[in-house]
Chain A
Amino acid sequence: MASENELTLRRVVVALDVAADFAPAIELAATVAAGWRAGLRGLFAEDERLHRLAALPFAQQLEPATALRSPISAEGMRAEIDALMRRMRQELESVAERHGLQWSFDAAPGSIDRDELVIESDELLAIGLSTRPIMSQMRLGSPWQRTVGRLRRRVLLVRGRSDANAALAVLYDATPPSRRALDAAIRIAGACRRPLILVTPEQVPDAQRVEAEAAAQAAGVRTRSVVARSASLAALPSALPVRVDLLIVGGDGVSAIDASERMSSGAVLIV
């Protein structure tokens, strides 16, 4: 039985749909899963609206690549969704194999109710908050936003592209949730051999900061300490000295989501 301070992880579930910018989400989910040698599951949720749309007599779609309109048919829509799912599956397979992880891919045509989605206690949900751009900066909002709002922890929020060389950061204020975050951060940084930035608010005693650094170094993780003036998560991204790919925080999901929105790219793991 794992302690409260230790995150157990059997599987990372990557939430996918037609709009998802799936490659960064899958890559980062695999990076996190590698810290626990956890499995990787792709969960594709169809948008029921697409089938309704396809059944309408005047239904057309605009293809940004060509700026041309084309009629939509039910069969055509099905084929396009299937093709997209195959690409996602291939990507998941490729990334999982590169990280040496077990993987699975589930697609529930039109059946997943995001509001009802429940993950197991030893699972983590990875959600891509960025959708595939229509053009340049034009994106539609993610249909997973409401799910994110409902989850308070065990969620990985991915925004933008991942950089394999960027550092990881963990917010550590010596509270139990932050100890859990530190533990998770050390595992992930150790697995992907990336440097770890240990962010501690000013009020944290030096001894505890040193203890946290020692824990990371004992695991063979290169660590850099940063003292933040405020313990506010909202102010954290701008306090980071270098580009951070993944911020790991404990506990407060709402604040974490807020922090992730302030990060122009990268991800937040709430444990």
Chain B
Amino acid sequence: MPEEIAEPTVPAAMPAALAVAELRRRCDPDSLPFQSLVELEDLAVPPGQEIAIEALRFGVSMRHPDYHIYAFAPATAARLGFVRDFLDQCAAKEPPPSDVCYVNNFENPQTPNVLALPAGRGAQLRDAMKELVQELRAALPAAFENEDYRTKRHGIDEKFKQRQEEAFGALQKRAQKEGVAIIRTPVGIAFAPMRDNEVLSPDEFQKLPAAERKKVTATIEDMQEKMEGIIRQVPVWAREHREELRQLNRDVTRYAVAHLMQEERAAFADLPPVEIYLAAVERDVIENVDDFLGESGRPEMALGPIGESAGPDHLAFRRYQVNLLVDNSGKTGAPVIYEDNPTVHSLVGRIEHIARFGALLTDFNLLKAGALHRSNGGYLVLDAMKLLRNPLAYDALKRALRAGEVRIQSLEQMLSLTGTVSPDAAPVPLKVKVVLIGPRILYYLLNQFDSEFTELFKVQVDVEDQIDRDADRVLMVARMIATLVRRHRLRPLDRGGVARLLEQLARESGDGQKLSIETPAVLDLLKESDHWAGQAGREAITAADIQQSIDARQRRADRIYRRMREQVRNGVLQVETTGRRIGQVNGLSVIALGAFNFGHPSRITAQVRLGSGRVIDIEREVELGGHLHSKGVLILSGFLGGRYAQDKPLSLQASLVFEQSYGPIEGDSASSAELYALLSAIGQLPLRQDLAVTGSVDQHGRIQAIGGVNEKVEGFFDVCAEQGLSGRQGVIIPATNVRHLMLRQDVVDAVAAGRFAIYAVKTVDEGMALLTGMPAGAADGAGNYPAGSVNHAVAARLEHYASKARELARRAEGGPDGERK
């Protein structure tokens, strides 16, 4: 652009006010190509989302694991319905994924095994195991009640008893024969010499001949050794006895179990992992048959980590249960899961605990699925903001996606902290397409600061929030409205209602040539209009109902706006809407309060004096001006230097301020107003106060588009209306903003009545001509401006400053006309 400096400076004509038709692009109900919304078919996909759908289709069909999707959404993920609708359609064509079960690992109960079974087979296995345990509990005790078994067991018991009795009996007999008593002491047994059925006293013993004493002692010593041998042998016999009993129990159990499990084995013969599991179950039942016999058993070993005693529900049998983590029986397509609360545990699952006797216990049956399990083989939709707000959730998601598996862990395990003993469950292989829905800014931030995000979320779905306002698209939006009305059972809209709604969508898009297609906002407006139509007893929503919704919504939100207008009315906030002032202009700003934005005029004033060419932005000096605002002010210096000080120093110092502004100011939309105030102050040119100004300016004096033009015009209009519309009041806007005008009807009506005006300008000169009522003035070949023009006055004042500055410089340097100081 700087290359175009050759552009000749032509005298700026006084711009004419905009025609009424340019202020609001109306939608004529009669122009709509339908009589009633009922005629219109549902719209499966919101209008204008062709590229987004293409991106979605690509993301869904890309089966490589790193092609997850990030969809830009203006609202919350829950409200981005079409993405979910699209995923539902895709998922319906896909087969249902496997069931996922956790089962006990009989080798190591601490690490439960995972079984992936065809959809519906998980529930079948769970029920089969439940039934099997019930049958075992009935059949095994019966098998052990059998008379043959009892006889055999009795024989084994008797053999053990007999071994001991024989050994001890022989010793007792020998003791009797040798005259030795076997006496039970408090902690054991002892041998003592006897005579006449009495134990010898020490005296009696001492009176025995030495040889006999020696013999007695030796006999007792020998018997004690024998007894020791027997005592040492008893545990060996006991072990043999237990082993014999165990073997007998195993044989009886094996026969009963094999018979009972025949059916289960046949039912799952096509699934080798289940066959392996059932074999392990059989082995475990055989080894732990006591649990089924109502005896003490060993439940604390049986349950591994849970370690609870058999309760009324026979908790010992929990190890044979099947924890059906994901049940896809009866499903016809792949799952589409939307997790509204994406915490770490709601994503990767959790380990629940049972409080028992003051301790928290768990086992594999208490492993609970997370959204990743439920969506495995399908799609998981998450709200990106919520995901990031939940500690550890985002990291857990990435970890699972990177690893291609999801592992249920307690928080302690996850953070490597010391915790209670919990199952270390085998991970579940993961094949899922994750769709994050979030704001655009978040996508860019994650892309910039998180390389893992970039690697995992390679597909961006950029959702359009507005479309062109041509005939075809107007019809599409009307179909969208019809779809929403039907889907949400609202009153139908008449053609006037549709037209008014389309106008409002244009207004919300901030461009009269476009339509906002933010479905949630449209739906809200429809719901509210439906309410007002109902209040008015109407069968259909009319333009009046739409207008009432808009007005009522504004009334609910505009308390601050009303207060500010009141303060202007009272003179507390000084805004002049009549007369002329030097160095003062009405600038316009937009204040955003939630969903309600309003425009507000502010006095922008400028002061100039001799100086070194610096324009001081007071807002910036006190750190109330944002970066863009400061940039706009600095551009002014560029403009002044470029236009008026090509061959001389810019010898002024100027200050600019937003009067009675006590908050931060951002944006450069007031830069043209600041320039007008500055030029007015330099050239001592009075500016009309019945005009307000908006627009940014470049260094060449061209006026550039700004945002919020409608709110700004309406803000000044409201102030003028309260102070009395004079017919001279109006707003100067950038010409490039004319297409954005969708002004309120009362503003349009005032313009039509000649009581208000909107002017569009392309250059600073046009703006100054309007504000001063003087021609801007074009430079001649020598760079001089015609007398009586704005630019002449400005250039002359700057020349005056420059010569004054030169004079001061000479004096300071002790030149011919001055003394050196």
- Show the binding face of A for B, using Cβ within 8 Å: 18-19, 47, 49-50, 52-53, 55-65, 67, 69, 72, 77, 80-81, 83-84, 131-132, 134-138, 140
Contacts and interface: CB of A to CB of B under 8 A. Distances in A.
B184 A134 contact: yes
Instruction: Please provide the 7 A-B residue pairs with the shortest distance between their CB atoms, ordered closest to farther.
Output: A80-B186, A63-B188, A19-B184, A61-B190, A52-B199, A84-B186, A49-B199
A49 B230 CA distance: 24
A136 B184 contact: no
Contacts of B192: 49, 52-53, 56, 59
A56 B183 contact: no
Nearest to B203: A55
Contacts of B238: 136
Nearest to A64: B231
B160 interface: yes
Nearest to B161: A137
6 contacts: A18-B186, A56-B205, A61-B188, A64-B189, A132-B184, A135-B231
A23 to B, nearest CB: 15
A63 B202 contact: no
Contacts of B205: 56-57
A131 B220 CA distance: 23
B224 A62 contact: yes
A52 B200 CA distance: 7
Contact of A138 (B164, B201, B224): B164
B188 A62 contact: yes
Interface string B145-173: 00000000000000011001100100000
A24 B717 CA distance: 104
Please indicate which of the listed interface residues A56, A61, A81, A135 has the most CB atoms of chain B within 10 Å of its own CB: A56
B181 interface: yes
B190 A72 contact: yes
B234 interface: yes
A52 B181 CA distance: 12
Interface string B220-257: 11001001101110100010000000000000000000
A137 B183 contact: no
Given A67-B231, A135-B234, A50 B183 contact: yes
A156 B168 CA distance: 29
B189 A61 contact: yes
Nearest to B182: A140
A2 to B, nearest CB: 39
B183 A136 contact: no
A58 B202 CA distance: 10
B185, B199, B220, B221, most chain A CB atoms within 10 A: B185
B226 to A, nearest CB: 10
A77 B160 contact: no
Contacts of A134: 168, 184, 188-189, 231
Given A47-B183, A58-B220, A132-B184, A137 B164 contact: yes
Interface string B185-225: 11111111100001111100100000000000100110010
Contact of A81 (B186, B227, B234): B186
Given A18-B186, A72-B190, A134-B184, A62 B227 contact: yes
Contacts, number: 101
Given A49-B183, A83-B186, A140-B184, 18 more contacts: A19-B184, A49-B181, A52-B199, A53-B183, A53-B190, A57-B202, A58-B221, A61-B185, A61-B187, A61-B190, A62-B227, A64-B188, A67-B228, A80-B186, A80-B187, A131-B184, A132-B184, A138-B230
Contacts of B191: 60
A57 B202 CA distance: 7
Nearest to A69: B224
Interface in B578-626: none
A179 to B, nearest CB: 37
B201 A55 contact: yes
A136 B160 CA distance: 10
Contacts of B199: 49, 52-53
B236 to A, nearest CB: 11
A134 B182 CA distance: 11
Nearest to B216: A58
Interface residues of B, number: 35
Nearest to B205: A56
Contact of B190 (A19, A60, A83, A84): A60
Nearest to B234: A135
Contacts of A138: 164-165, 168, 230, 234
A167 B785 CA distance: 127
A140 B190 CA distance: 12
Contacts of B187: 61, 63, 65, 80
Given A52-B200, A69-B228, A137-B160, A62 B190 contact: yes
Interface in B345-385: none
A60 B224 contact: yes
Contacts of A140: 182, 184, 189
A18 B200 contact: no
Nearest to B231: A67
Contacts of B220: 58
A93 B186 CA distance: 20
Contact of A56 (B161, B189, B200, B231): B200
B183 A62 contact: no
Nearest to A67: B231
B194 to A, nearest CB: 9
Contacts of A83: 186
Contacts of B188: 61-65, 134
Contact of A49 (B161, B198, B232): B198
Nearest to B169: A138
A135 B183 CA distance: 14
Contacts of A69: 224, 228
A137 B190 contact: no
A19 B161 CA distance: 20
Nearest to A49: B199
A62 B228 contact: yes
A62 B231 contact: yes
Contacts of A55: 201-202
A132 B201 CA distance: 26
B222 to A, nearest CB: 13
A19 B187 CA distance: 10
A109 to B, nearest CB: 13
A18 B161 contact: no
A161 to B, nearest CB: 14
The residue among A60, A62, A72, A84 with the most chain B CB atoms within 10 A of its own CB is A62
Contacts of B201: 52, 55
B217 A58 contact: yes
B713 to A, nearest CB: 93
Contacts of A60: 190-191, 224
A59 B220 CA distance: 9
A136 B164 contact: yes
A77 B185 contact: yes
A62 B188 CA distance: 5
Contact of B232 (A47, A61, A67): A67
A45 to B, nearest CB: 13
Contacts of B183: 47, 49-50, 53
Contacts of B232: 67
Interface string B612-645: 0000000000000000000000000000000000
A11 B669 CA distance: 109
Contacts of A63: 187-188
A152 to B, nearest CB: 26
A136 B234 contact: yes
Contacts of B164: 135-138
Interface in B292-307: none
Contacts of A47: 183-184
Contacts of A77: 185-186
A134 B193 CA distance: 20
Contacts of A81: 186
Contacts of A58: 217, 220-221
A29 to B, nearest CB: 21
Contact of B189 (A49, A62, A136): A62
